[in-house]
Structure 1
Amino acid sequence: MSSLSLINSIVITGQQPGPHLLILGGVHGDEYEPMAAIRSLKKLIEPEELSGKVTLVPVVNQPAYERSSRCGPDELDLARTFPGAPDGSISQQIAHQATQLIESADYLIDLHTGGLISDLAPFSGYCLHSDQTILETQRKMARAFGLPVVWGTSAELQGRSLSAARDAGVPAIYAEWGGGSRCLPEAVSGYAAGCLSVMSALGMQETPVKTQPIQYHIEDNREQSGHLQLQNHAPVSGFFEPAVKLMETVQAGDSLGTICSLLGDEITTITASQTGVILGLRTLPYVKQDEWLAVILETDRPAPSTDSP
């Protein structure tokens, strides 16, 4: 194991030349499935069968991990802090060092979950890069990951690992699966299998690429598409009880659940602001006014304009 001043990584070097793949987990300190999945990759990747190099970072944001929190002690969201600053606060320094790792790589996979407060359906995503070659590579990587939903979103979002990769010309994808303060075994194994499948698609190993059917492949180039926390906010504070499940389809105006007051004498029905499929749900019952409750993938958006492999 090699260590930067703030980020611990595992480097696996193959016996054949090839590209450098960087796999990140724990950008948020309360997202556990990626951490376990990336640790398992240390045992699953065989150097003698590998072409190129893989750098594994199970926990990018160790200060946040040690607080069991999304954010570190400076209360900055690392996924809004890239490219960071070498002389800034702890999150800014970590973002700076993570950006250096991204710039050293040929490809990036960044794994996430819903954290302590929410649960997310399995999906992979990428930004709609202006470089067509990079965009096609990202589509290929996201589809090879083998999850039921693939989502291409705005390239204009800033502060993220994918925006650092965008600026460096590094093809990059992210994935979401699980959360709710758990560590789902199926998400751990699915994440590990997805990473191995992407490696195969990139020619880094010869195991077959996953061919599980993709239920939705949506691309949405609107300015804030992909910003999960912007959707379906709570109009009041209180106890949230969802009326829908992950991957359930809803129409705009359908009930997403209710928020009741402390004594239960005031009940507010929450209605969907979009038509589509539920990708994320808040699992922590207490919600403050204006916090997000659900993520809806709008399924009437266009599919990719080209036939991606």
Structure 2
Amino acid sequence: MTSDSVRLARSEFVSKDPGARVLITGGVHGDEFEPMQAIRELIARFEQDSLQLLRGSLILVPVVNEMAFLRGHRAADDGKDLARTCPGRDDGSVTERTAAALSQLIEESDYYIDLHTGGTEFSVFPLAGYTLHPDQNVLDKQRAMAIAFNLPIVWGTAGNLDGRSLSVARDANVPAIYTEYLGGAPCSDDGIAAYVEGCVNVLMHLYMLKGESPASRVSAIVEDSRTGSGHMQVCHPSPITGYFHPQVSLGDSIEAGQSLGWVSSILGDNVIDVPADRDGIVLVLRTFPRVRKGESVGVVLDGADEYQKEIK
């Protein structure tokens, strides 16, 4: 480790009995607050012994991207998205060095959970996701972890996206999931509670905590192997820079061609509709009105007809 390397602030809990090493992170993006608070609550529970590991070890990192958090922004002041920068480099910019530190922790782990939200610009329907890993054993473990986390949607997507925390896990054959829960700037108490419970659920699934699994809230398991699936930021790009007016709500059923919303120019003299490109449900919706040309205004999850009514 060089003198300029980043060391991520973390808490580690170790059982007297050997077992798996689990890493849970929040704050890969500095404007995603529920994960940070959920992990702080987990730390407090383990420190107070209201949660006790049966075996193995647990590393909890509330805020991976501290520089971005202090800016109240998705990225640090070098402008790099940490979730596109992994595995990073020890002699690079602050984000590259942070990515290198995160990547090392992932590679040293046996299981990984990365908690996210839509940040200050988007809201995301609660989901647990994973990459469609080429190793069937890893894939099966990831799917089981995502189901155990117990959010409404379980979403497996193409494993060919690089630069991410999960791509580091993919390359190291570390079973890993990520989660999303709302966003839009307010810190949701429901989101914090769901994340604390979800992490506990996965640790119980791995036989690292005592307890009974709750009734399942999973309404759908969708796996999409199409190239680029899961890359939310490229979906439904805005045709112009301006002001986004949504015409749907998160979780709504929508048909191809139906309006997600419209974008107006600064003066309002140019208004362009953004139609859905497929049938499905509104999985992600822009909540921050200012939008630049090419930025996403939302994501529609297809293959979901059988459960649309259940999750709204």
What TM-score bracket applies, with the shorter chain setting the length? Answer: over 0.9
**Offset at 1:13?**
1.4
2:310 aligns to what? none
- Distance in 2, matches of 1:162 and 1:211, equals 28
For 2:88 and 2:198, the matched residues in 1 are separated by 29
What displacement does 1:211 show? 2.9
Task: Give the distance between the partners of 2:52 and 2:241, measured in 1 at CA.
Answer: 55
For structure 1, which segment, 225-234 or 203-212, has the greater mean C-alpha deviation from structure 2 after superposition? 203-212
Q: Which residue does the alignment assign to 1:39?
A: 40
Give, in whole Å, the separation in 2 of the partners of 1:236 and 1:94. Answer: 33
Within-5 A mapping of 1:105-254: 105-254=109-258
Tell me the CA shift for residue 49 of structure 1.
Answer: 4.3
> Is 2:32–2:118's contact at 8 Å kept on the other side of the alignment?
yes
Contact persistence 1:11–1:53 (CA under 8 A): yes
Q: Tell me which amino acid in the other structure corresponds to 2:66.
A: Q
SS at match of 1:8: coil
Deviations 1:74-98 (A, max 9, x none): 1110000111111111111111111
8 Å Cα contact 1:124/1:149 also seen in 2:
yes
1:241 deviates by: 1.1
Counterpart residue number, 1:273: 277
Residue in 2 that maps onto 1:307? none
Identify which of 290, 299, 306 aligns with 2:303.
299
Give the TM-score of the pair, scaled to structure 1. 0.93
Q: Structure 1 stretches (4+) deviating beyond 4 angstroms?
A: none
* Cα deviations by residue, 1:270-292 (Å, 9 ceiling, x for unpaired): 21012111111101111111110
Code of the residue aligned with 2:131 in structure 1: it is C
**Structure 1 residues 55, 220: CA separation in 2 closer, same or farther (over 3 Å shift)?**
same
Give unmatched runs, 5+ long, in structure 1.
303-309
Please give the secondary structure, in 2, of the residue aligned with 1:175: strand
In the alignment, which residue of structure 2 is the partner of 1:306? none
- State the distance in 2 between where 1:144 and 1:201 align: 7
Unmatched tracts of structure 2, length 5 or more? 307-312
Aligned to 1:101: 105
Instruction: Report the Cα offset of residue 180 of structure 1.
Output: 0.8
Q: CA deviation at 1:44?
A: 2.6
The 5 A counterparts of 1:46-61 are 46=49, 48-61=52-65
Structure-2-length-normalised TM-score: 0.92
**C-alpha contact 2:121 2:183 (8 A) present in aligned 1:** yes
Question: What does residue 11 of structure 1 align with?
Answer: 12
Q: Is the CA contact 1:63–1:73 (under 8 Å) kept in the aligned structure 2?
A: yes
Residues 48 and 33 (structure 1), Cα distance of their counterparts in 2 relative to 1, 3 Å cut: closer
Q: Secondary structure, in 3 states, of the residue corresponding to 1:279?
A: strand
Contact persistence 1:34–1:111 (CA under 8 A): yes
Are the equivalent residues in 2 in contact too, given 1:197–1:209 (CA < 8 A)? yes
User: Residue type of the partner of 1:20?
Assistant: R
Would you say how many aligned residue pairs link Structure 1 and Structure 2? 300
Q: 1:29 to 1:50 in 2, by over 3 A?
A: same
Distance in 1 of aligned mates of 2:279 and 2:236:
12
Which string of whole-angstrom CA distances, capped at 9 and with x for unpartnered residues, describes residues 104-137 of structure 1? 1110000011111111110000000111111000
Number of the residue aligned with 2:309: none
SS class of match (2:21): strand
- SS of the residue corresponding to residue 187 of structure 1 reads helix
Q: Deviations over 1:243-288 (max 9, x none)?
A: 1111111111011112223333432222101211111110111111
Across the aligned residues of Structure 1 and Structure 2, the Cα RMSD in angstroms comes to 1.7
Change (3 A) 1:34 1:74: same
